[in-house]
Amino acid sequence: MRQAVENVNGLYVIECNKNDDGKYFVTFSNGETETFSEDEVMEHCLYDISVPLNCSFEDLVIKIKKRRALKSIVGYVARTLRTEREVRERLLFLGYNDAVIEETVAYLKTQGYIDDREYARKYVNTSLKTKIESRKMCMYKLVQKGISDDIAEEAVRVIDDNEQIQKLMQKKSVRQKEKSKLRGYLYSKGFSVESINRVLGDDTY
């Protein structure tokens, strides 16, 4: 155990004790305590009880926990592009507080790991290649994933509902007598009455 007398120059370490599990239990001059790894103790000189830390307790903890958060989230965001909301929810699940989450998300944005506009663009492109979805349905799914309304609306502008309906008709080889049933299906999938009537050639619904 190492102890220090009061230091008038700001935040400093009072005690720095190594536990049986290899972690360090550190007590600060403001009465707060935290547990750190050996690397964290060495990097921030938390073992040196004679030197002021020249920062607030809150800034120190956020800085250290931000680095922890980045280590714990890097695999999650590196495998595939994630929305900002997905990353926030993941970090919250891992136990990080709002301040650490804000710092971590801000950094990930600057590094390109979080880009909701790019996420929305790729989602729409994939949807056009693999599915037949209306603009309204695609936008709904993006918003459900945490994409803002304005970004989602911008991304789905490339979707032409008339073309989507035509693709569906070609795929299903719809007969004339099946059009009535198809109308209800298309409407349930978010296609507008106007688009449905325009493609099916009937002004009544």
Domain ranges, ordered by start, for the chain: 13-54, 59-110, 116-158, 161-200
Q: pLDDT tens digits, residue range 57-78? A: 999 999 999 999 999 999 999 9
Q: pLDDT tens digits, residue range 142-180? A: 999 999 999 999 999 999 888 888 887 776 665 555 666
Q: Residue 18: which H helix or E strand, with range?
A: strand 13-18
| CA 8/CA 144 separation, integer angstroms | 52
What is the chain's mean pLDDT, rounded? 86
Torsion over CA of 179, 156, 121 and 74, rounded to 10 degrees?
-90
Identify whether the C-beta of residue 14 lies closer than 8 Å to the C-beta of residue 29: yes
Residue 87: exposure state from Cβ atoms within 10 A (0-12, 13-18, ≥19): buried
Q: Looking at residue 3, what is its pLDDT?
A: 42
Query: In the structure, what pLDDT confidence band is assigned to residue 205 with cuts at 50, 70 and 90?
Result: very low
Identify whether the C-beta of residue 151 lies closer than 8 Å to the C-beta of residue 116: yes
Give the CATH number of domain 116-158.
Answer: 1.10.10
